[in-house]
Structure 1
Amino acid sequence: MDIKPLIRGRALWAVVGAGTLAATAFSVTAEAAPAHAAAAHAARTWHRWHQWHQLCAAPGTDQASCDVLQVDDAAEPVAAFGVTANAAPSGYGPADLVSAYNLPANGGSGQTIAVIDADDDPNAAGDLNTYRQQYGLPACTTSNGCFKKVSSSGSSTSLPPKASANQGAEDSLDLDMVSAVAPDAHIILVEASGGGVSNMGPAVNEAVKLGAKFVSNSYIWKESSSDPTYDKDYYDHPGVVMAAGSGDWDYSWGVGYPSSSPYATSVGGTSLVKASNSRGWTETVWNTKAGEGTGSGCSAYESKPSWQKDSGCAKRTEADVAAVADPGHGVAVYDSYQEKGWGVYGGTSAATPVIAGVYADAGTPPSGSNPASFPYANPGALNDVTSGNDGSCSPSYLCTAQKGYDGPTGLGTPNGTGAFHS
C-alpha cells in the first residue's frame, strides 16, 4: 500500500484543567491494588489529554490509505500514576469491548474471518500471539491451524514485499480487534501486493475462495465512477460479510470506497467512554476536530440499496453501523515490526474489524444474502448514538447524530449480536 505518513499531533484537555491534576484524583498505586487492576484504572483516566497522530494521509482514487491513528504517549500515564509501566497495556482490551457491546466472551466459534491488508508484515503471527497471550485468549497460530497468512494468490511462501510506512501497525490493529471480539474464530491475513484496487480487490476474492465468510477491509479510496464496476469484480459476494471503514477525515473529506459499496457494511466511528449508567458506557460521534473524525455522506455513484430508507440521499448513504474509533479512548494493540510493542490506537480501522468480529459472533450468513442489510431489519438490537457530529452539512443527519439513522454512526453500535444475523 502506498501509504504516506502524516504526523498531525492532537491533544485533548483534562476535565480538571491543564496543570491541575490533583494526586487524589489518581490514587491507584501498585501497592494499593493488583498491578493489572491499577493499570486498567489508569488506562481509563488518562484518555482526555494525550496526543496522537494519523499514520496515513487522506487517500486519492488510485491508492488506498489506512484508517488508523496512533497515540504517541500511551505509556506515560501508567508510569505517571505510580503503576509499573509493563503491568498491563493501556487502552481498551477484549473484556472492555465485550462489555461495551454486550458480546459473548467466546464468540466466533466455527467461523473464519479474513483481514485484508497491503504488503507483508513478517511479525504478524508472533505479534498476534503476544496479544492473545496477554489477555488469556485461545492460541491462534499457524501450527494449530487457527491462523494463516497468504498472498492474494493464496501462497503462504511467496508473499508481497515487506510493509513500510506504518502498515505493520495497521495489520496488528486489525488482527487484534478480530481476536478481541471473536476469539474463537480462525483468522486469515491476506496480503496484497500494493494498495491499488487491482491489488486489494483480488485479495478480497482470495479470502472468499479460502472460505472466509467475514472480510474486514480497513482501507479506503476516494470514491469514483468506477466503483460500481469494482463492486461486481471484487466486493459482491453473496452470503459473505464485507465490513469497510468510512475513513478518518470527517464529513468534509467526502465519501470513500469500498465503504460506499452497497455490498459492504459501512462502518463509522464513535468515541466510547466508560460511564456509571446502566450500560456502563456512553458513545458519541467520533470527531476530534475539523479534518479528523469518522467519515459519512451521500455517495455520488453507488445506487441506494432497497433496505436503506433515509430520504435525504438519493444514492447510497455512509455509514450503516459504528464502533469504537476515537484514539483518545483507544484500543490496546501489540506491534513489534514497526513499533516498540504495546500501543494505543484508534480510527475506523479499529471499528471495522470489531464489526466483522461481531458478525462472526452472530453466525454464518445465509447463502445468497447481503449481510449489509441485516442491521436494518433489527435496529432495536443496536445502541442508538444520538449526540455528536463529524462536520457541517445539509441535510443535517448526514453528519450529525440523531435518534434513529444518521450518517456518522448509521443505526448505532452493537448491543449483542441480534442486528448482525438475518
Structure 2
Amino acid sequence: MSDLAGAERFAIAVSTPGSPLFHHYLSPDAYTARFGQPASLGEFGVTARASVAQTARSVQTCSRYWAEHVRSFSPSYRGLTKGSLPICGYSATQLRAAYGASWAATGHGQTIALTESEAPTAMLQTLREYAKRNHLPAPKASQYKEIHVGSSGQCSKGSRDAAQYNDEAEMDSEAVYAMAPSANQLMVVGNGCDEDHALLNAILAVLIGDGHRPLASIVSNSWQIPIGDLPPQTVHAIAVRAAAEGVGLYFSSGDTPGLTTTASDPYVVAVGGTTLGLGRWNNRVFETGWSNDTAVLDEGKWSDIGISGAGGGTSLDYAQPAYQKGVVPPSMSHVRIGNRTVVNRTVPDIAAVADLDTGMLTGYTSSDDGQYKTQVNAGTSLAAPLIAGLIADAQQGQRTSFGFTNPLFYRLYGTRAFHDVLPLQNLAAYTPANSTDSASVDVFDSQNSSDTDQVTAKGYDTVTGVGTPNGLAFILGLRRTAR
C-alpha cells in the first residue's frame, strides 16, 4: 500500500521555507519505507512528444543579434511592412549575458540529470567542440556520464515513435553547459517500446538512485506527455516522490498552446517560453511571451497559419497550490468545471527563451560522417535545461539542494530576482523566400482566442509564469530564501 496523501503533505513541508521540515529530505529507501513502493508505470501504448523546434539557417537569411538585418516586405501583414531576419542562433556568451550567468557561479559540485528518449552520438566529443566554439572551458571526462534504463529489445512496428529528434539530447546538454559549465551531467536514456514508460522510468532511476541518495538533485525534462495519454496520477506520484527526496523536476511547458500532463502537476516546475531580442552588445532589447502568429506568402497574399508558442493555462485536475495564492490573478486561476468555478493550478511557473526566431545555435556529431554540424534549435525544450543550469549555479556551495523550487520562486515574485516579461506589439521576424520555401512572417506576442486563451501580461502570466531569471539577483534570492 502507498500513502500518496501523506507523501504530498511531507513533500510540501520539506519544500516550504519556514516549515520545521524544510529541507529535511528523505533518502530513496526511507521514502519507500514510509510511503510505499515507486509508481508502477505499466504499458500505455502511447507516445510522449519531445518538445523541440529546429531548423538550419544560412548567414544570408539571419541576424547575429536582434535587428542586425531588417527587411521590408509587401504586402503588409497586420499593419507591418518590415521585420528583422531571425537570429542565426544565440551563442553561449549571448545567453549567459541575457540571464546574468557569472563566472563566480558555474554549477561546480552539482549534478544535473537529463532524461532522454534517444541516445546522442559521441556526446562528450560534441560537448567539447561546443565548448571550444563558444569560448567555454573544455569539459572534463568526469563531468559527463550516460546511463540507459529499461529494456532495449525489439519493438513492434508503430509501438515507438519512429521520428528521430536529431539533436534534442545534444541541445539539452549544451544548454546546461552554457549556463553551468562546471556542473556534472548525467544523461539518462530511457529504453523500451513505450516512450512514456521509458521516459518516466528514466526519472524514477534518478529518484531511486543507490537507495541512500538520488543520482541528481536537478532533473531537466525536455519532453511532454499530452493530456489524455495517461492518468495524471502516474506523473503525480513521481513528482511527489521527487519533492520529498529534494529533487527538482523541470519540465518543458510544451511547444503548442495549452496544457500537458507533465507540466500541469503542482509538484513540478513548468518552464514556459519567451521570444528574446539581444542587441549588438548583448543588451536586452526586449523579451516577451513566445506566442507567434505566422503567415506565409502565397501567390502575393499572406496566408495566416495560426498561433505557435509555449504551453500554459489552468489545470482541470489540480487545485491551486498554496505557493500560487496571492500571485496568480483570478482571471488566470479560475476555471469552469461543470457548473462550478474553481481556483486551480496555473502553468507555467518560470520561463526562458524558446522561440526559434531567437533560438540557440547548437551542434551535434553526425552519425553518418562523424562531423560536428550546427543548427538553430529552440522550443521550451531549450528553456528547461537553461533554467536547470541556472539552478545548479544557485545551488553551488549550498549546504543542501533547493529541491522543489516553486515555493521559492513564488516568494521571490515581484523582486529583482526575475525579469517581468511584458506584452509587446508590432514587432516581427521576417524570413525571405528561398528555393524551397515561401516568405514568412512571425508577429510576436500574438493572442487569438480561437487558438489559445493564454496571455502575456504584467506580473504573472500564462506564457511565462513569474518571469525569467535575472542573474545575480536570481541566484542570491534563491540562496537567501532557501535558508
TM bracket (short chain): 0.7 to 0.9
Q: Deviations over 1:266-319 (max 9, x none)?
A: 111101101489953420111222241111111121332110122232221110
Q: Is the 8 A contact 2:235 2:265 kept in 1?
A: no
Task: Quote the Cα distance in structure 2 between the aligned partners of 1:408 and 1:249.
Answer: 11
Task: Between 298-307 and 169-178, report the one with greater CA deviation.
Answer: 298-307
- Write out per-residue CA displacement over residues 154-181 of structure 1, whole angstroms, 9 at most, x where no aligned residue: x9xx899999633231111101100000
Paired residue for 2:92, among 91, 94, 117?
Answer: 94
Change in CA separation of 1:91 and 1:304 when aligned onto 2, cut-off 3 Å: same
Deviations 1:221-255 (A, max 9, x none): 112472133221356312211111111112xxx20
Are the equivalent residues in 2 in contact too, given 1:390–1:408 (CA < 8 A)?
Answer: no
Aligned alpha-carbon RMSD (Å): 3.3
Matches within 5 A, 1:97-176: 97-105=95-103, 106-141=105-140, 144-152=141-149, 165-176=163-174
Matched residue, 1:203: 202
| Whole-angstrom CA distance in 2 between matches of 1:220 and 1:278 | 31
**Structure 1 match to 2:412:** 378
1:213 aligns with 2:217: yes
Whether the 8 Å contact between 1:228 and 1:302 is mirrored in structure 2 is: no
Provide structure 1 residue ranges, at least 5 long, that are not aligned to the other structure: 1-59, 82-88
Determine if contact 1:74/1:343 at 8 Å carries over to the other structure: no
Task: State the identity as a percent.
Answer: 29
**Aligned with 2:182 (options 181, 184, 194):** 184
Q: Is the 8 A contact 2:161 2:195 kept in 1?
A: no
Aligned counterpart for 1:334 among listed residues 350, 356, 363:
363
Residue matched to 2:438: none
Aligned length: 346
Looking at structure 1, the residues matched to 63 and 276 of structure 2 have their Cα atoms a distance apart, in angstroms, of: 24
C-alpha distance in structure 2 between counterparts of 1:278 and 1:216, whole Å:
26
Code of the aligned partner of 1:415: N
Return the offset for 1:387: 0.6
Q: Could you tell me which amino acid in structure 1 is paired with residue 48 of structure 2?
A: A
Cα distance, 1:362 vs structure 2 = 0.7
Residue 75 of structure 1 and its aligned partner are, at CA, apart by: 4.5
Structure ranking higher in strand proportion: 2
What do the CA deviations read for 1:76-101 (whole angstroms, capped 9, x no partner)? 447999xxxxxxx9421111111111
Check conservation: 2:219, 2:248, Cα contact below 8 A. yes
Match of 1:247 in 2: 254
Counterpart-to-counterpart distance in 1, 2:162 and 2:124? 17
Quick one: structure 1 residues 407 and 72, their matched pair in 2 at CA, closer, same or farther if it must change by over 3 Å?
same
Query: Would you say the 8 A contact 1:248–1:293 is kept in 2?
Result: yes
CA deviation vs aligned residue, 1:187-236 (integer Å, no higher than 9, x gap): 01100115633211110122242521111000001124721332213563
Answering whether residue 414 of structure 2 is matched by residue 343 of structure 1, we say no
Cα displacement (A) at 1:111: 0.4
Within the alignment, does 1:407 sit opposite 2:475 as a pair? no
Runs of 4+ in 1 over 3 A off after TM superposition: 74-81, 158-164, 233-236, 275-281, 337-340, 364-369, 388-394, 418-421
CA contact (8 A) 1:255 1:297 kept: yes
Q: Deviations over 1:313-361 (max 9, x none)?
A: 2221110111011111110100123697111111111101001111111
Distance 2:348 2:94 in 1: 24
Structure 1 position 407, deviation (Å):
0.6
Identify if the C-alpha distance between structure 1 residues 124 and 317 changes in structure 2 by more than 3 Å, giving closer, same or farther: same
* Change in 2 beyond 3 A, CA 1:420/1:69: farther
Residues in 1 aligned to 2:318 and 2:399: alpha-carbon distance in whole angstroms: 23
- SS of the residue corresponding to residue 173 of structure 2 reads helix
Cα distance in 2 for residues equivalent to 1:297 and 1:318: 5
For 1:202 and 1:277, how far apart are their aligned partners in 2? 43
Larger radius of gyration: 2
Q: CA 1:160–1:240 in 2, change beyond 3 Å: closer, same or farther?
A: farther
Corresponding residue for 1:320? 349
| Bigger RCO of structures 1 and 2 (CA < 8 A, at least 6 apart) | 2
1:387 partnered with 2:454: no
Asked if the contact 1:188/1:207 (under 8 Å) is kept, the reply is no
| Structure 2: runs of 5+ lacking an equivalent | 1-43, 69-86, 294-305, 334-342, 425-444
Q: Cα 1:180–1:164, aligned 2, differ >3 Å: closer, same or farther?
A: farther
Are the counterparts in 2 of residues 160 and 191 from structure 1 also a CA contact under 8 Å? no
Q: In structure 2, do the counterparts of structure 1 residues 276 and 175 end up closer, same or farther at CA, with 3 Å as the change threshold?
A: closer
Cα pair 1:365 1:371 within 8 Å, conserved: no
Could you tell me whether the CA contact under 8 Å between 2:347 and 2:462 is conserved in 1? yes
Partner Cα separation in structure 2 for residue 79 and residue 405 of structure 1 = 31
Aligned match of 1:299: 315
Whole-angstrom CA distance in 1 between matches of 2:97 and 2:45:
38
Contact 2:307 2:448 in 1 (8 A): no
- Any idea what SS the aligned residue of 1:145 has? helix
Distance 1:303 1:200, change over 3 A: farther
Compared CA separation, residues 78 and 328, structure 1 to 2 (3 A) = closer
> Is the contact between residue 151 and residue 159 of structure 1 (CA under 8 Å) also seen in structure 2?
no
Judging changes above 3 Å, is the alpha-carbon distance between structure 1 residues 352 and 415 closer, same or farther for their aligned structure 2 residues? Answer: same
